[in-house]
Amino acid sequence: MSNTANLIDNSRPLDLICMGRVAVDFYAEQVHSSLEDAQSFRKYLGGCAGNTAVGTARLGLKSAMFSCIGTDDMGVYLRNTLEKEGVDTSLLRNTPEHLTALVLLGVNPPERFPLIFYRENCADMQILPSDANPEIFKNAKALLITGTGLSTPSMREATRQAVKVAKESGCAVIMDIDYRPVLWGLTDAGDGETRFVASEKVTREIQPFLAELDLIVGTEEEVQICAGKSVADSAETLESCLSAIRQQSSATVVLKRGADGCEVYSPDSAKPVSARSFKIEVLNVLGAGDAFMSGFLRGWLRNETMETCALYGNACGALVVTRHGCSPAAPSFAEIEHLIRHFDDAPNLALQPHQTFWPKMQQLHLRTELGHPQKEELLILAFDHRTQFEDSCCENDLPLDLIPTFKEEVYKGFQKVQESTKNKGLAILIDPEFGQTILNNSADANYVIGVPIEKAGAFPLSWLKDGSLYLQLLERPAGWFVKVLWHFHTQMSTEEKKVQLSQLRKLNEVCTALKRKLMIELIIPEDFPETVSSLGEAISEVYQAGISPFWWKITALDTEKEWQTMTATLDKYDPDVGVIILGKNAPIEQFKTWFSVARSTPHTCGFAIGRSIFWEAWEQFAEGKINKPEVSEMIAERYQQVIDIWHNI
């Protein structure tokens, strides 16, 4: 076992309190470009402590963020992101007087990773000594502090108090040296890339904390600044650094060595412990150290051996260097297990995500970033129909303007249900052709929104708009899911199958790149039999083509045996995928049987019902038999009826 056995109180529900930097990272999307030439940026949660809070949470630990954020929109974004990741925010204070910190970062491998910190009197440096709540610390196993938290007098005081409370509360104390010379005022304000400047002042401020530490993690240069020794690449210098630290601390020291993994120096061991490293193509080194810390702590806080801690740390760091961003690149425990188990069989398996020759890792990581469908009930009122309305208007000589008017009443019916009940997971599926006004008014919606991407009635599959599919989805809010109605059968002609799969693969790649949830509505063409085997075979071909949707939207079958036979395909290819039941304009009473059958497997997590709810109302409205308020009342009643059937199964 590790030497943490006497440090960690395993009865405590909170594994780790992460104290320090949490900021918004703006990563240049143009890889191999200088930062000054970057044209667009991707927004992520960042900051050493923030990355570690997210990284440990993804690995199954219960972490808490101990910091401050502004009340600005970027602060709101950070809090929401942390909570979505499962991080406890009880110790995350809002400060209206300070702006949330920002960082601009560039990705120009193999050597250049420029970054500029915008942290002038920023929010996360406003932690107060009084913020260290003893009641929360008493429930925690460990406190993580960072070197940046010692770079100003006020933060040193706050960190000193946090360490005092931690020790009194029985918490282990960990330091990530996290040495950023620019944040100590040792370089030009815009030079965030420089990773080392010798400084007696920095050493002087760090060393008083050494005696209180149980674990110290840093690069060789960071260990040298901690020890106060000059920089030299030699075993003698490293030994003298460790000796200097040993004189003041009994902490375990973990030396990060980048591509070579790490070495763990325990006070009760004469030789360092190491674990295998993973030689991998580097896209971005930023955030790899925080990922390493997360992996190491997954083992350390679970009393694993030091070899296991090192292995987890090395695996996490290796995966993150292949990805864009810091916190979003952090892996789940399933990902690092998969890497460790299969790396020697396919050493290129974790190359940059756009290389799809090994889609399993990509599938696993997308689940990590977007969540698991089975945890997310989705009760969708689907009124994205277009051709049905257009055909009805044509047959009855009605103006097309009647369609958006009716859809707005359907939406009002949805709102009535949303406002009058405590149902969770309510959602709408609405098209931009006849429902754009609804979408325009949904910017701050507290329900889920899905929007189709396909051109209605088109075969083979084509898109709503001409031009770049990437730009079409980029312009949509990130929280909206993408629905595509997709016709397929394994007996279609070779050319038809090729085109359909090619278009679907293109959509899947764009959704993966933009982190959009994809729902595939699988429709068996009328000329082909829709059976248990036809559904399963079609789904198999999708996965074999390297396509992994977040949800399948399919028709429920009539018996549990049939349904379980079909969903066995999902168990084989993607146990975490969700299934949404479509309605096919069936009588509402039919859903009692269908829902019962569909919920016999864990994949089923919701429904998307449309015409069964609204079509009768449409016909009566089109004929002038009911007015607009009556439409919304009818929709609300029927939608709630379907919800009640779902909940009572």
Separation CA 133–CA 195 (nearest Å): 33
Q: Would you say the C-alpha torsion 227, 233, 237, 243 has a positive or negative sign? A: positive
In sequence order, which residues have a C-beta less than 8 Å from that of residue 362 and are 6 or more positions away? 353, 356, 512, 548
Domains of the chain (ranges, CATH numbers): 14-21+48-69+128-370 (3.40.1190.20), 373-648 (3.20.20.70)
pLDDT tens digits along 489-512: 999 999 999 999 999 999 999 999
Of residues 57, 528, 513, the one with CA closest to residue 297: 57
Burial class of 12 by CB neighbour count within 10 A (0 to 12, 13 to 18, 19+): middle
pLDDT of residue 353: 40
Burial class of 624 by CB neighbour count within 10 A (0 to 12, 13 to 18, 19+): exposed
pLDDT tens digits along 208-257: 999 999 999 999 999 999 998 754 445 568 889 999 999 999 999 999 99
Interval 124-149 mean pLDDT = 97
DSSP summary character for residue 433: T
**Residue 319, H or E segment:** helix 306-320
Helix-, strand-, coil-residue percentages of the chain, each rounded to 5: 45, 15, 40
pLDDT of residue 442: 87
Interval 100-104 mean pLDDT = 97
Interval 389-410 mean pLDDT = 97
What would the two tokens of residue 55 be? 């990284």
Any idea what the Cα angle at residue 536 is, between residues 534 and 538, rounded to 5°?
65
Is the backbone peptide bond immediately before 529 cis, with ω within 30 degrees of 0? no
pLDDT of residue 352: 43
Separation CA 544–CA 527 (nearest Å): 24
pLDDT of residue 443: 78
pLDDT of residue 230: 59
Instruction: Please give the distance of CA 114 from its chain centroid, rounded to a whole number.
Output: 24
Does the structure show a pLDDT above 90 at 421?
no
pLDDT tens digits along 173-189: 999 999 999 999 999 99
Question: CB neighbours (10 Å) of residue 232?
Answer: 11
pLDDT of residue 358: 60
Any idea what the Cα angle at residue 543 is, between residues 483 and 347, rounded to 5°?
120
Instruction: Please give the distance of CA 434 from its chain centroid, rounded to a whole number.
Output: 32
- 356 in Cβ contact with 584 (< 8 Å): no
Does the structure show a pLDDT above 50 at 120?
yes
What percent of the chain stands above pLDDT 70?
Answer: 96
Separation CA 13–CA 137 (nearest Å): 11
pLDDT tens digits along 572-581: 999 999 999 9
Task: Name the band, by pLDDT with cuts 50, 70 and 90, for residue 348.
Answer: low
Query: Could you tell me which residues are beta bridge partners of residue 25?
Result: 44, 103
pLDDT tens digits along 285-332: 899 999 999 999 999 999 999 999 999 999 999 999 999 999 999 999
**Relative orientation angle of helices 560-573 and 532-544, to the nearest 10 degrees:** 10
- 19 in Cβ contact with 99 (< 8 Å): no
What average pLDDT is seen over the chain?
92
pLDDT tens digits along 447-480: 999 999 999 989 999 999 999 999 999 999 999 9
Instruction: Please give the distance of CA 178 from its chain centroid, rounded to a whole number.
Output: 24
pLDDT of residue 3: 54
Interval 158-168 mean pLDDT = 98
Q: Which residue has the higher pLDDT, 340 or 443?
A: 340
Q: Which residue has the higher pLDDT, 268 or 570?
A: 570
Interval 547-557 mean pLDDT = 94
Interval 132-140 mean pLDDT = 97
Q: What is the 3-state secondary structure (H, E, C) of 6-43?
A: CCCCCCCCEEEEEECCCEEEEEECCCCCCHHHCCCEEE
- 94 in Cβ contact with 106 (< 8 Å): no
pTM score? 0.92
pLDDT of residue 356: 38
Q: What is the 3-state secondary structure (H, E, C) of 162-186?
A: HHHHHHHCCCEEEEECCCCHHHHCC
- 15 in Cβ contact with 56 (< 8 Å): yes
